Amino acid sequence: MPITGSSSYLPVTDTMIAHWNALNALPPPPPPGSATLVLDGNRTVTTLSGLRASLATARTDVEVKLNTFEFNRADAEIKRTALLGRVDQLVANVRSFWGNTPFPALLPNRPSDTTPMGDLEKALDDLADIWSRMNIGTPPAGITVPLLLATEPTAAVPSPPSYSQSSFTTDIAALKTVHTSQKTSEVPLANSRATRNSLQDQIRPILVDYRAAVPGKLPPNHPLLDTIPRYSPLPGSTPEPATLSGTWNAGAGKAFLDATPSPSASVVTYQLRYVPGPTYNAEDENIVGNIATGSPLHFETLAGLATPGVTASFRLYAITAEGNERASDTVSITRPV
């Protein structure tokens, strides 16, 4: 498997380390040879193993911080949706029963699912202020203040209390807190990505130099010459993509993903990868699993979906024997709350 992206660095490095160790274990050649291969700059298999360990830690750190960011995003989305429902309820009440007062003219434009954080918070604050003013003003005939909004009963709470202006204010504050957490989680995520990328940049030249150095260390036709791991795909055509679909299976408590195989005969295996969140960044992807051609392309996974309300995005890669690959379209799955 060659390096085709961030997710392939660890498996490629593992195969290179295994090959390097096998080379070092051979009986030493005649002088001036040595028992171990050392690259320029005193880079050894120990050097590569240390970088590999650091990269594994960095990749885990990126995923943890990305999960934190995605949890905050999902939490904000849940709170936003609930508040927008109350906004619609409040606006309908104002327009229907307070028409002969100044309040309808004060209503801000309704925020939407895509309204930026700052604009959303301002609109919500304006509505909370309007509601507060309504509560202390003179209401229209037949209207009682403080204004209370109806709440949907549930099996657990068949007679819920009405929704008040103070509840609205509390919910706005909670949304602002999550927005702050979402913004502040961006910086450590960016730092973790930078650390990961730096380690990858240190590993790649070692892989290149090792592959170039081995033929000078071994006699012609030695078996290890045929098994030097590759760091880039062999020449060959890019396969056609598979077609991926998926959904959350409530009964199994997992995401189910199925695919129609690639029509390309050169494909030998399929690899499912994912990133937390609704936006697919290939540099953040992680491997879920592999399935050889000829087997049913069905996956069941909780990857990226450990918490209710979060979203994970998946792609299925069709891979040829030469290491060339092609991704399917992205499938995003949200775990219900």
Give the model confidence (pLDDT) of 149-166 as tens digits. 999 888 888 888 999 999
Expressed in percent and rounded to 5, the helix, strand and coil fractions of the chain are 45, 15, 35
178 in the same domain as 295: no
| pLDDT at residue 201, rounded to an integer | 96
The CA distance from 130 to 144, in Å, is 16
216 in the same domain as 333: no
174 in the same domain as 272: no
277 in the same domain as 220: no
Q: What is the pTM of this model?
A: 0.83
310 in the same domain as 221: no
What DSSP character marks residue 299? E
Of 232, 257, 283, the one marking the end of a domain is 232
| pLDDT at residue 38, rounded to an integer | 92
For residue 299, give its domain range. Answer: 234-337
176 in the same domain as 251: no
User: 305-318: b or e for each residue (b if 16 or more CB lie within 10 Å)?
Assistant: beeebbbbbbbbbb
238 in the same domain as 227: no
**Domains in the chain: how many in total?**
2
290 in the same domain as 218: no
**pLDDT tens digit string along 191-224?**
999 999 999 999 999 999 999 999 988 888 899 9
258 in the same domain as 219: no
| pLDDT at residue 30, rounded to an integer | 52
Question: Any bridge partners for residue 244, and if so which?
Answer: 259
128 in the same domain as 45: yes
Strands in the chain per DSSP E? 243-249, 254-260, 267-276, 286-292, 298-301, 311-320, 325-327, 331-334
| pLDDT at residue 299, rounded to an integer | 97
Shortest CA distance to 200 belongs to which of 275, 284, 269, 281? 284
Of 232, 250, 270, the one marking the end of a domain is 232
103 in the same domain as 247: no
Q: What is the CATH number of the domain that holds 265?
A: 2.60.40.10
Confidence band (pLDDT; 50, 70, 90) for 27?
A: confident
- 309 dihedral zone (left: phi>0; alpha: psi -120 to 50; beta): left
206 in the same domain as 61: yes
Confidence band (pLDDT; 50, 70, 90) for 237?
A: confident
- Angle separating helix axes 117-136 and 45-97, nearest 10 degrees: 30
Question: Any bridge partners for residue 326, and if so which?
Answer: 318
Of 175, 202, 232, the one marking the end of a domain is 232
Residue 160, number of CB atoms within 10 A of its CB = 12
